[in-house]
Amino acid sequence: MGSVGGEYRLKGIAKELLTYKSGVFGIAFLVVLISLSVYTIIAIPYGGAIDLWRGEGNVWIENPRNAQPYWVNYFGPNLPETIKRDSHQTGAGTVKVLIPIPQTNLKMLRIGFSFDYVYDAFPSEINIFFSARFNESAPFLRIYWTKPGSTEIKLLDYITRTANDNFYLSIHPQVAANIDSYIAGIVGEKPLAPLPVEQALFAVEDQTIKSTTTAKPLKGTYKLVIDGTLFGEDSDLDARVVIYGRICGLAGTDHLRRDLTIALLWGTPIALSFGLTASLTISLLQLLIATVSGYYGGKIDSLIQRFTEGYMILPFLPFLILIATFYRLDIWILLTVIIVLSVFGGGVKSTRALVMQIKEYPYIEAARAYGASSKRIVLLYIIPKILPPIVPSLIGSVPGYVFLEAALSLLGLGDPYLPSWGKVIEDSYRGGALYKGYYYWVTEPALMLILTAFAFSFLGFALDKIVNPKLREI
């Protein structure tokens, strides 16, 4: 006794699931997704993730824009990593000398950075971040650049504006002008379309430097020297130079330097909870409505059925767009709206047909005979009987809602703050990712969506075979 019924319980079903290949794949994918979600929620708490995604406090400033994931280098290209040097940490190619000049309150400063550049592509950007301490006059700086086996190029005379000054070297017009005239000195004429600063600083110095199509990066040891004059007894200045690469992190970055890992990770619990909640709620509500409609019949049935028919005619997407446009929707309100718009759907019709069939079974009549109340009959006799065929379709419809969320995001109707997969796709679409060749930007969230779809579809197929034995192949 007791163990006999075991094979019909959850454990038995799980065991049977594993006898199907699709079941194994479905469960494996789902386990991956769920562990990812759990890890994400623990490792990057919700509030933190939102702050990170909104870039609070310039957390991403040292990330390159639109960098590919680091592992693309394993497949051939030798793309530059981001090189960072900080004068706080001297040694290993970083030198800082600060000498007071006697009988004055002036100080002489020299900061030297040297680094090896061994990559086949140009960096994407160069920034220098100053942090200075001064009283009246800001430090006066002169910045030099030395290519391997070449002379020093003076880039700029610069007076820091504030104590923490971000100097965007690669877009500074004066630097660009200085470099242009330097290149003109090498090739003998002013190039028509001069190289961007970060390319010119790393390019081989021959005729190829004339244009971006021919320029090649020069490998070797580079030097960046900052000479300065500081005013005041306790004045000081430190510099941090960041030479942005073209690869970053496990998933790459987007146009706002944000690490896509955040969005891909956080997208998982969002997608799972969104899809499951939508699918579960809609299926169960439809089940309940259909059962009430089918079991009680008469006027209630007519009312529900006519209402459903009316509902089914309403165009779902335009309504959703309308609502989302007029009211700023976060993802959970969006979910509610989707549920409300789908409750009286086709599921009500098909389930009602099932209920109508079942309610004529003798065991229902017997139950009425021995005095079971309508509620008891509905909950204990009818719903358990129609649940099995509904469960696989419930599981199978989860990806549909995940895709819907992504599609709505792509239409700009998603939650603007939440890092979801749909949001990443939207960003990439607006950022012209495919046009510019940032394929990783689109494929990564798309792959996550596909993984989710696989997980639930496989699980749905396997469950379908278990609860509808007629579908089993011999």
Partner 1 sequence: MTDNILEVRKLFLYYATRKGTVKAVDSVSFDLKKGETLALVGESGCGKSSMAKAVIRLLPRNIDKYDGEVLLEQQNIMEHDETTFRKDVRWKKISMAFQGAMNSLNPVLKVGYQVAEPLLIHEDMKKQEALEKSIESLRMVGIHESFMERYPFELSGGMKQRAVIAMALVTHPRILILDEPTSALDVITQANIMNLLKKLKNEMGLSYIFITHDIGLSSELADKVAVMYAGEVQEIAKAEAFYRKPTHPYSQKLMASVPTLRTDKKPEFIPGAPPSLISPPTGCRFHPRCPSAFDRCSKENPPAFDLGSGHYVKCWWYEQSGEKNE
For 300-313, give one letter per residue: b (16+ CB within 10 A) or e. ebeebbeebeebee
228, 238 Cβ separation under 8 angstroms: no
Query: What is the closest distance, in whole angstroms, from the C-beta atom of residue 17 to partner 1 in the complex?
Result: 20
Taking the least distance from each CB to partner 1, the nearer of 382 and 395 is 382
Q: Which of 313, 362, 375, 473 binds partner 1 (CB under 8 A)?
A: 362
Of residues 376 through 415, those in contact with partner 1 by CB under 8 A are 376, 380-381, 384-385
Interface with partner 1, residue 363, by CB under 8 A: yes
Interface with partner 1, residue 469, by CB under 8 A: no
Taking the least distance from each CB to partner 1, the nearer of 133 and 376 is 376
Interface with partner 1, residue 367, by CB under 8 A: yes
Residue 151, Cβ neighbours under 10 Å: how many?
A: 8
Q: Which of 74, 75, 326, 370 binds partner 1 (CB under 8 A)?
A: 370
Query: What is the closest distance, in whole angstroms, from the C-beta atom of residue 466 to partner 1 in the complex?
Result: 15
Compute the distance between CA of residue 289 and CA of residue 275 in angstroms, rounded to an integer.
Answer: 21
Of residues 281 through 320, those in contact with partner 1 by CB under 8 A are 297-298
Q: Which of 216, 368, 416, 429 binds partner 1 (CB under 8 A)?
A: 368
- φ, ψ at 109 (rounded to 5°): -125, 135
**Token pair for 442:** 């689109």
Q: What SS3 state is found at 377? A: helix
**Token pair for 82:** 């981001």
Interface with partner 1, residue 361, by CB under 8 A: yes
Taking the least distance from each CB to partner 1, the nearer of 57 and 371 is 371
Query: What is the closest distance, in whole angstroms, from the C-beta atom of residue 11 to partner 1 in the complex?
Result: 15
Q: Which span sits near partner 1 by CB under 8 A: 13-21, 88-96, 303-311, 358-366?
A: 358-366
Q: Which of 106, 323, 333, 372 binds partner 1 (CB under 8 A)?
A: 372
Closest CA to 333 of 37, 412, 341: 341
Q: How many residues bind partner 1 (CB under 8 A)?
A: 24
- 172: Cβ contacts below 8 Å, ≥ 6 apart: 156, 197
Q: What SS3 state is found at 232? A: coil
Interface with partner 1, residue 4, by CB under 8 A: yes
Q: What SS3 state is found at 45? A: coil
Polymer length of the chain? 474
Query: What is the closest distance, in whole angstroms, from the C-beta atom of residue 379 to partner 1 in the complex?
Result: 11
Query: What is the closest distance, in whole angstroms, from the C-beta atom of residue 397 to partner 1 in the complex?
Result: 23
Closest CA to 32 of 311, 254, 272: 272
Compute the distance between CA of residue 423 and CA of residue 176 in angstroms, rounded to an integer.
Answer: 36
Query: What is the closest distance, in whole angstroms, from the C-beta atom of residue 467 to partner 1 in the complex?
Result: 12
Compute the distance between CA of residue 422 and CA of residue 420 in angstroms, rounded to an integer.
Answer: 5
Angle subtended at Cα 185 by Cα 182 and Cα 186, rounded to the nearest 5 degrees:
95
Interface with partner 1, residue 157, by CB under 8 A: no
Interface with partner 1, residue 472, by CB under 8 A: no
Of residues 73 through 112, those in contact with partner 1 by CB under 8 A are none
Alpha helices in 188-297 (DSSP H): 197-200, 260-296
Q: Which span sits near partner 1 by CB under 8 A: 74-82, 161-169, 366-374, 421-429?
A: 366-374
Taking the least distance from each CB to partner 1, the nearer of 167 and 381 is 381
Query: What is the closest distance, in whole angstroms, from the C-beta atom of residue 375 to partner 1 in the complex?
Result: 11
Q: Which of 369, 435, 469, 473 binds partner 1 (CB under 8 A)?
A: 369
Query: What is the closest distance, in whole angstroms, from the C-beta atom of residue 388 to partner 1 in the complex?
Result: 9
Closest CA to 290 of 338, 359, 337: 359
Cα separations (Å) of 308 from 174, 197, 280, 313, 348? Answer: 69, 64, 19, 9, 7
Beta strands in 357-439 (DSSP E): none
Q: Which of 1, 10, 192, 193 binds partner 1 (CB under 8 A)?
A: 1
Query: What is the closest distance, in whole angstroms, from the C-beta atom of residue 352 to partner 1 in the complex?
Result: 16
**Token pair for 425:** 């796709």
Q: Which span sits near partner 1 by CB under 8 A: 191-199, 272-280, 357-365, 435-443?
A: 357-365
**Token pair for 405:** 């969320």
Taking the least distance from each CB to partner 1, the nearer of 180 and 301 is 301
Strand order in the sheet with 106-117: 94-100, 106-117, 220-231, 140-146, 152-159
Query: What is the closest distance, in whole angstroms, from the C-beta atom of residue 344 to partner 1 in the complex?
Result: 24
Q: What SS3 state is found at 309? A: helix
Question: Where do contacts with partner 1 occur on this chain (CB under 8 A)?
Answer: 1-2, 4-5, 8, 297-298, 361-363, 365-373, 376, 380-381, 384-385
